[in-house]
Chains A and B, each alone.
Chain A
Amino acid sequence: MTVVDTGLAAEFAAIYAYSEATVHLDGEPRELAESLESEHRDRRDALLDYYDAHGLESTPAEPGYSLERVTEADEVEALLLDVETRVATTWRAGLASDDPDEREICLNMYTDSAKALARWKIAIGQSYADPWPGRPV
């Protein structure tokens, strides 16, 4: 499994989480969550184009994902924060790739993930500052 495979799997899981959880949000957080879900779908599509362009075969999404049951807004906010953090962590790992194409797409995805993470933190009232986005603690 390559770092791009792992990243694509993270994007599939993020899309699933957003599609299940966003409905429990209202107002600005909901609008942003819908926007971020759309961005994950765009990234998934860009990744599938990458596979096609390089003659690679992608692993399809799982039929479902194990997700903690959330219904309250604060639970959803925490869940989506965890999702965005995990996605950023996954793409960050790809920066160490020796393959130039892999490193480039991982950097692009990681940068977008860091932006999404910062925006979501602001939406839920947290500080967006983080010198090392997605770095495991």
Chain B
Amino acid sequence: MFTTRRGLLVGAAILAAAGCTETPAQIITPNADLTAALRTARSLARASESLGYSDIANDHSAHVETIEKILLPNVLPQEDAEGADPSDPAALADAETAGSTEAAESCLATDTDYALLLGEIAACRAAHAAVLA
């Protein structure tokens, strides 16, 4: 079938385009900033809910829902919690502040269109910390 070099190259291109390769197709490159924001949002949602701050948990859940939609099909799977969740409002405020700083740094560093989203998440977490303090 591929008796010439040109024929071989064309054939390889056709096979690759058809998905007949060993490497799985990667439709979207995972975004490290959004992946980090998702991991933190899930953690903060869990922590705030466990302390009875349902309003705050709902904010984080909205972030989770939005980021998951953007990251499809490369959504970070649910992970077991690393370490202990914040056990009181002061610890939750500290976690919110740390999450805000993380999102703010991503907002300033990114060259993608996600700067606005990351900035919104940073501001929201900072507002939570302010009212918890």
Query: Of A88, A103, A122, A134, which is in contact with the most chain B CB atoms at under 10 Å from its CB?
Result: A103
Q: Interface SS of chain B: helix, strand, loop or mixed?
A: helix
When the two chains form their complex, are residues A114 and B116 in contact, meaning their CB atoms are under 8 A apart? no
- Cα separation A50 to B127 with both chains bound (whole Å): 24
Give the residues in chain A near B62, CB-CB below 8 Å.
131-132
Query: Of A96, A119, A132, A134, which is in contact with the most chain B CB atoms at under 10 Å from its CB?
Result: A132
Give the residues in chain A near B58, CB-CB below 8 Å.
129, 131
Out of A88, A107, A127, which one reaches B108, CB within 8 Å?
Answer: A107
- Cα separation A122 to B128 with both chains bound (whole Å): 12
Interface residues contributed by chain A, number (CB under 8 Å):
26
Nearest CB of chain A from residue B58's CB, rounded to whole Å: 6
Within 8 A of B (CB), among A22-40: none
When the two chains form their complex, are residues A96 and B115 in contact, meaning their CB atoms are under 8 A apart? yes
Q: Tell yes or no: B71 within 8 A of A by CB.
A: no
Q: Tell yes or no: B84 within 8 A of A by CB.
A: no
When the two chains form their complex, are residues A132 and B120 in contact, meaning their CB atoms are under 8 A apart? yes
Query: Of A100, A111, A117, which is in contact with the most chain B CB atoms at under 10 Å from its CB?
Result: A111
Provided the pairs A111-B100, A131-B59, A131-B62 are in contact, do residues A95 and B127 lie with their beta carbons within 8 angstroms? no
Q: Tell yes or no: B89 within 8 A of A by CB.
A: no
Q: Tell yes or no: B88 within 8 A of A by CB.
A: no
Out of A95, A122, A130, which one reaches B119, CB within 8 Å?
Answer: A95
When the two chains form their complex, are residues B131 and A133 in contact, meaning their CB atoms are under 8 A apart? no
Query: Can you report 11 residue pairs joining A to B where beta carbons are below 8 Å apart?
Result: A92-B119, A92-B120, A92-B123, A96-B116, A103-B115, A111-B123, A114-B127, A128-B127, A129-B58, A131-B59, A132-B124
